[in-house]
Every structure is written in structure tokens, then in C-alpha cells.
Amino acid sequence: MPVPRDIRDFSQVFRDNGHSLYAVGGAVRDYLLGTENNDWDFCTDATPEQVTAMFRSVIPTGIKHGTVTVVFRKQNYEVTTFRTEGPYSDRRHPDEVHFVTDLREDLSRRDFTVNALAADCSDGIIYDYFDGEADLRAGIIRAIGNPRERFEEDALRLIRMCRFCSKLGFTAHSLTFDSACALSSTISFVSKERVFEEMSKILMTKKPSAGLGMMYDTGLLKALIPELDKCASIEQDKVGSDNVLSHILVSVDAAASYGYSLTVRWAMLLHDIGKPSCMKKIGNFTRFFGHDVKSAEIALEVLRELKCSNALQEDVYVLVRNHMTRYNRSWTDGAVKRLINRVGRERLDMFFEVLWCDRIASDGKPGLEETDLLKERIDAVLDQPMTLKDLAVNGNDLYEAGIPRGPGMGRILNSLLEMVIDYPTLNSRQTLLEQAVLLSKSQSPADK
Ligand code: ATP
Ligand code: MG
């Protein structure tokens, strides 16, 4: 395997000190697959102390587990000492690690054969003790050794299996897959943050439905997001799908095929999650009234539980809440502005992306014309007053006009805003003050 100049020079320092340096995992795997990988993980027989002694700048990033970050020619290199691992009593982290000097021993503790390939950084020779290359050629994700034991040690590997199948377009080896099914409920031992991270990585693959479908097939989805799992039992005829979960997956794939953001992909994954609880049979038809509201609520709960950022929670909530917006030409400018307010200006692009993906996954005929018209209507009103900040008066002005501060004043300001949204030409200081005084007079004392 060709080794970039800097990395070869870096490994020469190890050689000069009587040690070796190997690239391991993704870099070797992706080289053999002919795909790009800029994420290098290194391992070495030198102990963290020995590595620290070899370089001027070494950060002890994960020294307990033998990982340090070396700064070499202004680049950061993450280097982990060969190690074996003790028992995993929490099904996630080894109770103890032991440093060893044998590469094979280090590779044997890794998750899948295709991730246990190592390349010597000084000469590029590839070491493949577990037939990883053959599995790469056959497109198979196979646990190293006994799959059941590997998943019992670390439950994160369950979801990593789905991620690598999704990322590489591979299938899991039958024994590996069966063991994952048998142990799917142990995914609860993995921290929610890690689950979020791995699911996000699946969502960012080219065809997320492969990994997500595998999460469903193994029972991982049921253990992690039961409401989403339930969607598979709700029949619904749409393009390329016959139930709500498969429609969701088609919509997520659509988002991936356009290269849309992680936020939009999460929104697609959760956009119909409320359908099972809103389902109503009316004659021969099934209806899901109010599923946009319900889905937004559940989406928020799911993302809160997964402990993702507040920004993502809010964005997904708003996108899911508004995904049933259906524009028609009879909308007034006021209605267009109210939509902008509900969605938020900064989310308008994502909003259209969500509508687009849902549309593609519903009837396969994106309503281009209507969407374009709505975009034009939005552009035409964007510089008109729409929020309290845009009003020609504020609370102080009303106070000076004799209106007492309090909830009553808040209601007056909101009424003024509603009026200005519909009739922007009324947004002048004098008109609004007059209107405010009238509104204040009509309020009962209890309302002020
Ligand atoms: P990517 O290209 O997505 O970064 P990667 O194979 O480099 O893929 P990482 O998560 O960066 O994956 O991990 C680097 C290597 O460390 C893996 O290839 C694997 O050998 C090992 N590894 C990582 N996590 C685990 C785990 N939970 N159990 C066993 N081995 C693991
Ligand atoms: Mg990596």
C-alpha cells in the first residue's frame, strides 16, 4: 500500500527507536477498496511512554487505553499501543487493557475482519491475519472469531455492523448477523450519545436504508426507537414502499441521494413516526390525521433521549411539524409570511428539501411547479415586516402612549403584528400607536 511521504517519515522515527508503526482499520480497508479515506488510525508496539519519549509534542488523549496524539510536522497522528483487552463486564468497555508487542494479538481484538487489516508504514506491506481481504472482495462483514462473544464484549459493535454494511454496501455474514439478532437487546448498554453518533453515520452513508433496514431486521431499531419499528406494521401504498417504515426509508435515501444535511436526514427518518398512533380506518381508507403534530412530538422525545444538540432537536421538530404544508395559489401574502414565521427564515431551504424528499417517496412526481411558485412567493415577501422586531413601534412606545406593561401589552403587540402581516402598508408609527390605544381601551382590566 502506498504510504504518504509524511507518514513514512513519521514511522521512521519509530524505526530509529527500534519500534514499528502500522496503519490499521479504515485507511487500509478503503485503500484496498479503492475508495478515499483521510482518517488514519495507527498502532505500534511502543508503549505510550516510549512514544512520548520519541517526540517533542505528545498529547495523552486516551493514555489509559494506550492512545496518544503525536504532533509531527504540525500534523496530529493518533497512535495506539498494541493491546489485548480484559473482560467487558459493562458490555461496552474492557475492564482492563494489557499492552502487548505482537501485531496479530492487537488485530484479534478488533471488531470485523475487514477492519483488522494493517499496513506497515515504512514499507506498505499489508498484514491480513483474519482473511479480511477475501471478505472485502466478497462484500462481507464478519466478526473476528466468535461473533457472539465479540458482541457480548462490546454492544456498540452491533450497530457498527449495520454502519459498515451501509457504508460499504456489504452484507453481514450469516453467523455474525444471527448473533447480532440474538443480542440486539443488549444495545441498551451503549450510551445514547454513541447510538446517536453511529446512527448519524449510517444516515450520512450513500444508501442509509441498507443500514437502517438492517437495524430493523436485527431488532436493534425495536430496542432503540420502538415507535419507528412499529411503522413497519402499518400498511400504506406509496412509491417503492408498502408500509410506513419503508416509505420513511425511501425518503431518507432520497435525502442522501441529493447530499442533503444530517438534519434533513434525521427529519426524514422521523417525519412519519407518529403515524401508528394516529391511524384511523375510514371505510376502505386509512387516514393519519394530525400525524405531523404527533410525529414532531415523538421526534423531539427521541432526539432528546439520544442527547443530541438542542439545535438539531429544534430544527427537526420544526421540519417534521411542517412537513404536511400544502401550498396552493389562493394563499394570501399573509399566509406566506405566517409560514415563514412558523418555519423560520434560516430553515427555509431545509423545509423545501423535506417536502421534496417526502414527495419523491410518496408519488415519485415531485410537485415542482407548485414548490417553485411557493419559493417565488416567499422571495417576494421576505423584506416585508413579519416579526415583532419589524414593527414600527415597540413596548416602550406603547408605554409612553399610556398603555401599561404586562401581558395585555404583549397581546396588543401581537395583534398589531397580525395586522401588519396582512397589510404591510399600515406599519407606520402613528397608525400603530392609534390602533394600540384603541385595542387597549377595548381590553377589560383583567386582560391588562
Ligand atoms: P471509518 O472510515 O468510518 O473511520 P474505521 O474502520 O477507521 O472506519 P473507526 O471507528 O475509526 O473505524 O475505528 C478504527 C479501527 O478501530 C477499526 O477499523 C477497528 O479495527 C477498531 N475499532 C473501533 N471501534 C471498535 C470496537 N468497538 N470494537 C473493536 N474494534 C474497534
Ligand atoms: Mg477511522
Probe residue for ligand 1, chosen from 85, 92, 114, 115 as the CB with the greatest number of ligand atoms within 8 Å: 115
Q: How confident is the model at residue 366 (pLDDT cuts 50, 70, 90)?
A: low
CB distance 51 to 81 below 8 Å: yes
The minimum-distance atom of ligand 1 relative to the CA of 154 is 27
Query: Which one, of 88, 113, 122, 107, lies nearest residue 15 by Cα?
Result: 122
DSSP string for residues in 107-142: HHTSSBGGG--EEETTT--EE-TT-HHHHHHHTEE-
For residue range 86-119, what is the model confidence (pLDDT) as tens digits?
A: 888 888 888 888 999 999 999 999 999 999 999 9
Task: Report how far ligand 1's centroid is from the alpha carbon of 63 (Å).
Answer: 18
Spell out which residues have Cβ within 5 A of ligand 2, the ion: 26, 39, 41
Task: Report how far ligand 2's centroid is from the alpha carbon of 37 (Å).
Answer: 8
Task: Report how far ligand 2's centroid is from the alpha carbon of 84 (Å).
Answer: 19
- Residue 445 pLDDT: 79
For residue range 67-86, what is the model confidence (pLDDT) as tens digits?
A: 999 999 999 999 999 999 88
Nearest residue (by CA) to ligand 1, atom 22, is: 110
| Average pLDDT score over residue span 320-336 | 94
Amino acid making up residue 326: R
- Cell numbers that stand for 2 in this block: 502506498
Task: Report how far ligand 1's centroid is from the alpha carbon of 228 (Å).
Answer: 27
- Residue 312 pLDDT: 98
DSSP string for residues in 360-409: HHHTS---HHHHHHHHHHHHHHTTS--SGGGSS--HHHHHHTTPPSSHHH
Task: Report how far ligand 2's centroid is from the alpha carbon of 40 (Å).
Answer: 6
| Average pLDDT score over residue span 146-170 | 97
Nearest residue (by CA) to ligand 1, atom 8, is: 26
Residue with the bigger pLDDT between 251 and 63: it is 251
Task: Report how far ligand 1's centroid is from the alpha carbon of 91 (Å).
Answer: 17
d(CA 364, CA 233): 22
Query: Which one, of 148, 215, 157, lies nearest residue 176 by Cα?
Result: 148
77 Ramachandran zone, left/alpha/beta (phi>0; psi -120 to 50)? beta
d(CA 347, CA 224): 28
Q: What phi and psi, each to the nearest 5 degrees, are found at residue 68?
A: -130, 160
The minimum-distance atom of ligand 1 relative to the CA of 116 is 20
Residue with the bigger pLDDT between 176 and 328: it is 176
Nearest residue (by CA) to ligand 1, atom 21, is: 110
- Residue 334 pLDDT: 96
- Residue 447 pLDDT: 75
Residue 66 CA, chain-centre distance (Å), reads 29
- Residue 239 pLDDT: 76
For residue range 379-410, what is the model confidence (pLDDT) as tens digits?
A: 999 999 999 999 999 999 999 999 999 999 99
Type and span of the H or E element at 58: strand 57-62
- Residue 38 pLDDT: 80
Amino acid making up residue 291: H
Give buried/exposed letters for 286-306 (b at 16+ CB in 10 A, else e). eebeebbebbbbbbbebbeeb
User: pTM for the whole thing?
Assistant: 0.93
Average pLDDT, the chain: 95
Percent of the chain with pLDDT over 90: 87
d(CA 270, CA 279): 16
313 Ramachandran zone, left/alpha/beta (phi>0; psi -120 to 50)? alpha
- Residue 367 pLDDT: 66
Task: Report how far ligand 1's centroid is from the alpha carbon of 116 (Å).
Answer: 9
Going by DSSP bridges, is the β-strand pair 21-24/41-44 parallel, antiparallel, or unpaired? antiparallel
| Average pLDDT score over residue span 415-443 | 96
- Residue 284 pLDDT: 82
Check pLDDT > 80 for residue 448. no
Q: How confident is the model at residue 333 (pLDDT cuts 50, 70, 90)?
A: very high
| Average pLDDT score over residue span 289-306 | 97
The minimum-distance atom of ligand 1 relative to the CA of 157 is 27
Q: Which residues line ligand 1 (CB under 6 A)?
A: 24-26, 37, 39, 41, 110-111, 115-116, 154, 156-157
| Average pLDDT score over residue span 136-155 | 97
Percent of the chain with pLDDT over 70: 99
The minimum-distance atom of ligand 1 relative to the CA of 27 is 7
59: β partners: 69
What ligand is nearest to the CA atom of residue 94?
1
